[in-house]
Chains A and B, each alone.
Chain A
Amino acid sequence: MAADIQASQSEIVHPLDHLIRTDRIPHIWCPGCGIGTVFSACLKAMISSRIDLEKTCMVSGIGCTGRAAGYLNLDSFHTTHGRAIPFATGLKLANPELNVIVFSGDGDLFAIGGNHFIHGARRNVDMTVICVNNFIYGMTGGQVGATTPVKAKTTTTPVGNPDAPFNLPLLAWASGANYVARWTMLHIRKLTACIEKALTRKGFSFIEVLAPCPTNYGRKNKENSLETLRLYRDKTIIKNNVDPSELDMDFEKGIILGEFVSRERPTCIENYDRTCRIP
């Protein structure tokens, strides 16, 4: 009987198995970590958007979220800390046929890689940047980051974070991104729809996704992963097209989710071709 169950278990194929390197599953992410859910939403969107997957590649930086590229069964690049966007810029400009997705964490994209992010958005390089924001450096054991909420406890702010976090959609908007949205890992259908939209749009698209880090952020701040998800349900409000300056990360006030920016600035390649190439 037990042997029968084993045999049938090994034959089960998950609907996304063709897009993941199943020989590397289970992945490294902790129980309750939201990165896997966001990654899964990204895969669903890649399928539903009907983009050419053979011409699609994922670039990640370093950190927990940075490991995502390693689980994608397509061309994938796990680069250096913070440098996913400039690497992806080279990929895209050298072969404009490629669909380029940058999938990385908040520490990678906005602390060490913050400068690259604003310049990628300014140039409006045609890529989709998905940032899994878990408010903390997970891989190194829970240090304060550029997105850690005020007063939150981390291993390097043992009595609470004295500094304000970035408002990421505001930063993306001000830097010139064509498309900006924010969701949580609980709002998966909306998230998937937005990633799908971002993948088929031209220019620099940015989607921030809140996701729990139960091991490091949750444990320090007395919040288990189910409580974090309930917070995402109870303390968020969906307001599309709101002024990005209202998108502060403040759970007391409530976190605003939605699509905030959708514009048609010409892309980096369009501008280069128009300006620099002699017809």
Chain B
Amino acid sequence: MRLAVLTGEHYITGDEACAEGALAAGCTFFGGYPITPATEIAEHMSKCLPEIGGTFIQMEDEIAAMASILGASWAGVKSMTSTSGPGFSLMMENIGLAVCTETPCVVVNVQRGGPSTGLPTMGAQGDMMQARWGSHGHYEIIALAASSAQEMFSQTITAFNLAEKYRTPVILLADEVIGHMSEKVIIPEASEIKTVSRPKPQGEKEGFRPFQPGENGVAPMPSAGDGYKIHVTGLTHDERGYPVMTVEAQAQMVERIVKKIQNNRDDIIKTESYSLDDAEIILVSYGISARTSLAAMNQARALGMKVGFLKLLTIWPFAEEKVRALATKARAFITVEINYGQIHLEVMRSVAGKAECHLVGHAGGTVITPEQVLERIKELY
């Protein structure tokens, strides 16, 4: 029997690092469906989970995979699934259910070129807005990005911790390049890995309200079989979990779901800053394109240009306060992403006309090179 957490240095792919991160975070249930380029996550979990007393199940489609991890989460375990674009589209229905019923779970989307079947074996970053708004209705979501195998490990742990802390689905947005790339991953001892578990209710079971928020806006969550006689529904519901079809109940429920994320933005949003202090041009990027951007920034600095780089570790909620503050100092922003402008739009919104906003992007299938970014920097400088 293996230990739940592999430790030491390993040369593994981003997908495998993601699976190891999940195990380190305490995930014991994986419901999945094969899809390139995320299959290796499911494969690794299918091997490891039974060894640590967990359960892996390959469901009949991504709809079922997503439904199964919600069921598992209500049974009291940390659960996850992984997919890519076409499967991510199918999961949207039950991601909405997870949001509405405040069910912690992690969904990893190893992005490939789209739309539709697109480029199954080639990377892209075209699902950023789908992650934000893919399910119907107005809601808040947490989505993270990873730009290396090491980050696939650490961000998967963060995804679980945020899901548990805020009782919400968390999406990890990777891409084919990161998923399939082998790199050194350093896995610390289990005791050094911080894991978070959902708040559990205390006290009286009779009359317990499963959707009555606690201090940080998050309600303690019992599991099925704990004796709380909970009712959980995707219909608009009150704090008891009972369906209530009124304008007031809708306002109350949606506002709470939105605010528990919005009011904790400072805790959720993480970025990394590179040479921003004197930067006239700021690159904004994430995932594989973050590596392109860092290389381009270093090349530009070597040429004496004052270029900085803001790396997004959290995609949603968007780091708008950070970008807005930078916009008072910098002259221009260049968003680097493998699409025709998705996070670019968020940067524009946050900058609000205080600086120029540009995009280096393309439709997908390959990475953006540092030279392409450098060329644009030179044009603007």
A residues adjacent to B (C-beta < 8 A) = 21, 24, 54-55, 57, 59, 69-70, 72-80, 83, 85-95, 97-98, 115-116, 119, 272, 276-278
In the complex the two chains form, is A278's CB within 8 Å of B51's CB? yes
- What A residues does B61 contact at CB under 8 A? 115
> Nearest 9 pairs between A and B by C-beta?
A90-B71, A90-B68, A86-B64, A94-B75, A94-B72, A86-B67, A78-B233, A95-B75, A90-B72
In the complex the two chains form, is B60's CB within 8 Å of A80's CB? no
- Least CB distance from B129 to A in Å reads 22
A-B contact count (CB 8 A): 145
Count of chain B residues with a beta carbon within 8 Å of a chain A beta carbon: 47
- What A residues does B173 contact at CB under 8 A? none
In the complex the two chains form, is B1's CB within 8 Å of A91's CB? no
- What B residues does A278 contact at CB under 8 A? 1, 50-51
In the complex the two chains form, is A70's CB within 8 Å of B93's CB? no
Contact of A54 among B57, B70, B225, B242 (CB under 8 A): B225
B197 at the interface (CB under 8 A from A): no
In the complex the two chains form, is A95's CB within 8 Å of B232's CB? no
In the complex the two chains form, is A79's CB within 8 Å of B234's CB? yes
B292 at the interface (CB under 8 A from A): no
In the complex the two chains form, is A86's CB within 8 Å of B59's CB? yes
Given A97-B225, A278-B50, are A89 and B71 also a contact pair (CB < 8 Å)?
yes
- Least CB distance from B293 to A in Å reads 39
In the complex the two chains form, is B55's CB within 8 Å of A94's CB? yes
Report B185-233 residues with CB < 8 Å from chain A CB: 223-233
Of all chain A residues, which has the CB nearest B233? A78
In the complex the two chains form, is B231's CB within 8 Å of A76's CB? yes
In the complex the two chains form, is B50's CB within 8 Å of A272's CB? yes
- What A residues does B144 contact at CB under 8 A? none
Cβ proximity bits B285-308 to A, threshold 8 Å, 1 near / 0 not: 000000000000000000000000
B77 at the interface (CB under 8 A from A): yes
Selected A-B contacts with CB under 8 Å, 26 pairs: A21-B231, A57-B224, A59-B71, A70-B233, A70-B242, A70-B243, A77-B71, A78-B233, A79-B67, A79-B234, A80-B93, A83-B64, A86-B31, A86-B59, A86-B63, A90-B31, A90-B69, A90-B70, A90-B75, A91-B71, A91-B75, A94-B55, A94-B79, A115-B60, A115-B61, A115-B64
Which of B31, B75, B94, B226 neighbours the largest number of chain A CB atoms within 10 Å of its CB?
A: B75
